[in-house]
A and B are shown apart, each in its own frame.
Chain A
Amino acid sequence: MDEYPAGSLDHNVPLLLTLGTRTGSGYDAGLGASLKEQAVLIRSDLAPLDSDQAHALLRYIRDRDASELPCNGRDASGRKYRFRVKTAERSLLLPPRRARLPEGIEAPSPSATPAPVLHSPYSPLSPISPLYPDGLIDTQWIRKHQELVPSVLLCFYALVSDPTLAKLCDNQIKTDINTIRALLSQSGYKTRLAVVLLSDHVSSAASFDGVQERLETIRRGSGLDSKALFLVPFTDSQEELERVAENMLTTLYTVSIEYYRDLGRHSRKKRGRGTVPQPTVPPTSGTSQTLSLAGWNVRYDFKSAMFAEYRLEMDVALRSYEQAYENLLSSEVMELIPSWSPRWNEARFLADVVSVRCLRCLFWNGQHSAAARRWQFHRERIADLVERQGRGTKNYGWEAWEARWAVVMADLIDKTDIPELAPTTLRLYLPPEKSIMGERLQPWELLHHTGYWHRMAAKHLQARKAFARAIPEDDRRSPSTSPASHVAKSAFAYDTYMCPDPHEEYPLGRAGVDHSQMIVDRLIRARAEFLKRRQARFAAEVTLECARELAVAKDWQNIVQLLRPIRKDMPFRAEGWVPIAEELNWALRTAAAEAGDAELVLLADWELLSRDFTKRPGWHYDITKSLEDVPLKSKPSVSIQDGQLISFVSASFLFKNEEGKAGQSVRSQLCIKSNAHQGSAPVVLQSVYVSFSGSLDGVVLRHRENEQASQHTHSKATVTTVPLAKHIGSDAQPESSTPDEANNGVTLLGSADLTLRPGQTLVFNMEIPLREPGETRADSLTLNVESEAFTLRQSLKFQERSNSSIWCISGSAMKSLPHPHPLAVHVLPRPPKMEIRCPIWREQYYTDEPITLRFEAENGEDVEALARLDVLLFGEKPPAFAVEIPGHEDQVSSSARSEEARLSGVPMGTIASSNTMAVCLRLPPIERSSRFDLTLKVTYFLPTNPGTPISQRAAFQLNIVSPFEANYGLLPRVHPDPWPSLFDPEGVPLPDTGNGDDDNHAPAPPKGISQAWCLVTRYASFASEPLRVTDVDITIQQATPTIRCSSTKRTGVLPASGTGRLVHPKTIEEAAFDLVAQKATVDDRSPAPLDISLIIKWTRPDADPVSVNTTTLPIPRFTLFGTEPRVLASVSHHRGSQNMTMMTMITLTVTIENASSHFLTFGLSMEPSEQFAFSGPKQTSLNLLPVSRRSVAYRLLPLAVTHQVRDESLGGEKGQDEAERAEEEEGGMWIRPALVVRDKYFQKVLRVIPASEGLRAGKEGLEVWVPTLGLGLGAAEGGEE
């Protein structure tokens, strides 16, 4: 809007002029020199007020100046008036109402008819006006009303309270008002006069009436309207003052509106006349043409529109403006004006002004889309007009106007201050208003925010610039140096509406209009708007345009400043908008090279090498040359992060295996692929650094020239196998190329040819040793390019993609590996090469044997190992064990819990490589059969990697079983010794004579009854292997002191040599023992328990015979010495005479024991039998004294009976098993003497108990063995002779 003359486009606000207050500055009438001398002076005779109150009031009024308020219908602060305020001290100048007659024309003689009519100096009728004779209307007129002729003249006077002066002052005021009033009416303007009286004392109720009276007097004396006289009472309170001022201004506003309504009415009246007024003097120059009626109508319409605008009747104003516009562009006004005439441009200007005012009216009413449409409409209209009548739209003048037109709109939008379009709403455009919703709308008709308008202006400015650049040189010359004919010609060729002539627009030889600056200004404003609304990408686009303009102006530093943040922050690259990134790069590169920003140049050059960008012909594409034309202060060093730019180098990494073991190495492949432009110079990477996470820190490959040895060159890919060595001592050579080398991790070093040709792939096969278990992952690759001029470092992150598990076998062949995570290798823990063995391991170990387990730990590592041993024995009540390690002290386990015994951390010392260390584990004899889990764990460290423990464990199951089991039989025997007599005085225990004596003496020899027993044990081996039993014995636990017991082992069970006997598994062995028990006293006749244990001494057959194991088998308790009488039968065989080999005499002795204290009588009977003949009492009675025994002997002579007989006799007993029969057949037979012993008193048959060999208790009673041959039992029997 700035290009339009001041005030031409501004919103019109009623003008209020104050008079009579000291302001410190004089009144600037703003009149031209010619008008100033004709101006009407209005002057107050009174001195201007200088009181604080007057100043405060004036300040308040001035503060309420509305000329800068936003042009919209919204009432911001709820105020009811709008004034533009001007101040004058004592006098003011008003423009003359009538222009004078021009010089040279003589004063009108009274006789001359018609008399020249004088007109306003702003009218095209007055020769003094620049519009004379056929102009329409100009800014002067607009300014006249906006700035010069007030609607209200507000005079300040003091109301003196001093009663002596009051009258005088009031009269002075009256006079002054009357003077001003007279001057005003003389001037011809209808400016309303208003008076404000400032009271200088506090009005009291008493003086109120007086003041009222004085006011009335003044009002009447000066002929003022009651609404035009204001009294400001003396007050200190600002609020009070403001309230009064508000009231006053509101009242004045209606007066002012009335003033403008009068003016508007006047204009309409003049238009309604329908006649063309005659100018003061007929035109004599030019075409002598005067303004047509249509022109006058435009003028009147414009005037009434403007007065309506003063009144804020925007609808009325809009209607009048539109009318003026239509008339102006109609065939009767504008189309008649030739385009060469200055009036043409004036008319265009007027059309612009009217349009802008129309737009403002539309904005005022909130018709935004209508405004946008109106804006376009005016442009189209003017373009059409210019095309048809003017100089067309293909010139810089038109574009200049287009740009201006866009800027005007932007400014209007700014001025209107639409809240819906404020940046905070983040709205880009307004929706159409309701009235036109649903119509076919141009998108542009939805009012966009000012950024778009500024950008559009910039676009047109660019076009203007392009047209300006196309002006031929002849026209660019200054007219003074060109031939006159040419000047004349070119004067009509160019549209110079509000823009300079071609020789000023783009002069030859010197700077003309700074198009670039204009464009940049617009773009920067647009950019600010876009950024406010978070249109970052749009702003970037605008910035790019801006940079392009700046490049023309060679403002390199600014370009770098503008573009650098875009390059850094905008996601064009990441999002794949390659052409944009490319544009940006080239722009930035060019600017940076000029500005000397070497880093940016490098970045751009590095990125532009990529084939993703289009190749610029003729560009060197050599990174080493990129800084050739850049002035350098120091050697630049650039570090590029992954994703920071589109890299022409891509990298992938691949572990061949998914898993590896610590201590082993894994094959891996690094591919570095160049996607540089064909024909670009090869890039020599000084070194590359692969960084890993996990145990490995990194791998550095250094460039080495011409390494052709292990390299298979191929057109596309080069596969190189790189041996890696451990990097030792980073202090020896401070390595700037590897960023993380300060870490303590391990860095491997290799070297290869790292020349990267365009389109080529470098493939490196590497054997990467794995150290720590866990996951080792390749993270990123850092490329280092170093030249004399710069260092550049690019880091690339490895990406895990589905297609990245391609293993290059050779330059052309590759295969896909089924590796889901090719960047990672899972490192298993180092496999322990220590082996724990037990050379002799038995399935079973036996109770009561001390167990010695020998283990061997063999070191299979390459180096010696420092080992420790943990042993854990787990089971129910595990025994404490001891571990013997050669060269170390024995260690005994501890038992933390009841079910485990543990020995931890037994030092084993150093085991040399491939050596074996023997470990001996000793367990004490275990009593019960049980089962244990034995775990051995060897933890060791290798000197090569002292921080990592390696452990090997071995588990064994220890089965401990009882080797023997046995059953027992206790057979009664007849004790040979006589029983003591109850009546024997020796047997009577003596009463205690002395306490001490008895104690000291050995126990007295037993004198009680004695019995003999035979203990028969049958034991079986339950071992899994033969065991050698060296001895079998019993022990008697002498539980009670009342009996004495002794045992005798029968010989013949085991060999006497002591070597024992090999007992095979699952065979039953028998051992018999004789037992003799005797009661201590005769009186003691209670039963006595007997606890005996069987003791088996045995060894393993292959073991040292000295180490004899003793297995004790407890025998269930027997009870001896019942009180019941027993009948014991025993036999002895007597061989008959020599000739009677077949005949055997058998003596059967029946012994009846009465252990009770009763006298008992027994009946004894022996039935005769066919089997034998006997001698002895067939029926007898035996009387037994208490504690006595008696024997009866029978002599039996078995009869020779046939088997048949026996079979018959035994026919009922088919149950006789075959074994017995076989035995009988072999050695003899059993006979069954029918011996019955009966207790006479109780009439109870007593069982006859066999008490010697050759007897048995059959089912039907006692059975006696009759050996067939003399040599049968005789030898074995210990019977009576």
Chain B
Amino acid sequence: MATTIPSIACLGVIGRNNNPLHTSIFPSYDPSTNSYHPVRTPLQFSLILSSTLDVFELRSRQNQAAGVGLTGDFGLLHAVDDRLAAYGFETNTGIRFVVIVDMRGRRIDSAVAAGLADGRDKRIAGAAAGLREGEMRPVFKAMQAAYIRLTQNPFYDPDEHSSPLGHGGKKIMSKKFAEEMRRIGENWTPGITNL
């Protein structure tokens, strides 16, 4: 018997001008076919990523009013539905990292699941296997590290990607960065502390 645990469905990097810099999509487990494929289309992920911008705006306004949120970790932005949830992080240069977690994205054996949840039933176990607050922090840390490495590249011009004039920008084309994102997305499991 198998049960599902959360996995990353999508990693998004959004620039200062609310422009998409990078999107990585990861396959999720589909119990009906017992195979892995992305839970949404790229367009849908685009929409989800873009809709997180609303939350970023709301939240930064609230944070500003409350004088909190200096770490940039916005935590859970919102749950898109009962399966997908978006987590966000904003660097102090205005780059936003978004992690979209599929709460039933990965299949594990029940033996392993027993360690995670003590439900009677695989569904209940799946439901119980939630996420703690701050569980995404390692992901953001790794993403930020990758982004910092990207900016250390002298050929990477941040202004080109998020023009200071405030309109759009190019996407990140670095293969290394994409590879790093892929690594982060694939390696993350709940409870992991270092990526």
Task: Give residues in A with beta carbon < 8 Å to B.
Answer: 373, 376-377, 380, 383-384, 394, 426, 428-429, 438-446, 448, 452, 455-456, 459, 533-538, 541, 544, 571-572, 574-577, 579-580, 583, 643
Contacts and interface: CB of A to CB of B under 8 A. Distances in A.
A376 B130 contact: no
A384 B167 CA distance: 50
Interface string B58-76: 1001100000000000001
13 contacts: A394-B32, A429-B79, A440-B129, A442-B82, A448-B79, A534-B57, A535-B54, A535-B55, A535-B58, A538-B54, A576-B17, A579-B43, A580-B46
Contacts of B58: 426, 428, 533-535
B132 A441 contact: yes
B38 interface: no
A575 B49 CA distance: 12
Contacts of A459: 81
A452 B43 contact: no
A645 B108 CA distance: 47
B18 interface: yes
Contacts of A535: 51, 54-55, 58
A452 B168 contact: no
B43 A580 contact: yes
B81 A442 contact: no
Nearest to B77: A428
B144 interface: no
Given A456-B82, A537-B54, A576-B169, A441 B19 contact: no
A538 B81 CA distance: 12
B42 interface: yes
What 5 pairs between A and B have smallest CB-CB spacing?
A: A443-B85, A443-B79, A576-B19, A538-B51, A440-B130
B51 A575 contact: no
Interface in B25-60: 32, 42-43, 46-48, 50-51, 53-55, 57-58
Contacts of B133: 438
A571 B42 contact: no
B20 A541 contact: no
Contact of B128 (A428, A440, A544): A440
A574 B62 CA distance: 25
Contacts of B51: 535, 537-538, 541
Contacts of B167: 574, 643
Contact of B168 (A429, A439, A541, A576): A576
Q: Which has the most chain A C-beta neighbours within 10 Å: B46, B129, B169? A: B46
A583 to B, nearest CB: 6
Given A426-B62, A576-B19, A576-B168, A439 B127 contact: no
Contacts of B85: 442-444
B95 interface: no
Q: Which has the most chain A C-beta neighbours within 10 Å: B17, B43, B51, B124? A: B51
A373 B126 CA distance: 12
B130 A577 contact: no
Contact of B79 (A452, A541, A579): A452
Contacts, number: 121
Contact of A541 (B42, B47, B55, B57): B47
A648 to B, nearest CB: 16
A459 B40 CA distance: 13
Nearest to A379: B82
Contacts of B79: 429, 442-444, 446, 448, 452
A574 B131 contact: no
A575 B131 contact: no
Nearest to A442: B130
B11 interface: no
Contacts of B124: 377, 380
A384 B81 contact: no
B139 interface: no
B143 interface: no
B78 A429 contact: yes
Contacts of A574: 17, 167-168
A1055 B78 CA distance: 120
Contacts of A380: 121, 123-124, 127
A341 to B, nearest CB: 24
A537 B50 contact: yes
Contacts of B131: 440-443
Given A444-B82, A448-B79, 9 more contacts: A440-B128, A440-B131, A440-B190, A441-B130, A442-B79, A443-B131, A534-B58, A579-B42, A579-B43
Contacts of A456: 81-82
Contacts of B9: none
A444 B103 contact: yes
A443 B20 contact: no
A72 to B, nearest CB: 23
B13 interface: no
B101 interface: yes
Contacts of A536: 54
A176 B171 CA distance: 87
Given A383-B123, A446-B76, A440 B132 contact: yes
A377 B128 CA distance: 10
Contacts of A429: 76, 78-79
Contacts of B54: 534-538
Contacts of B80: 452
Nearest to B58: A426
Nearest to A455: B81
A29 B62 CA distance: 53
A535 B51 CA distance: 7
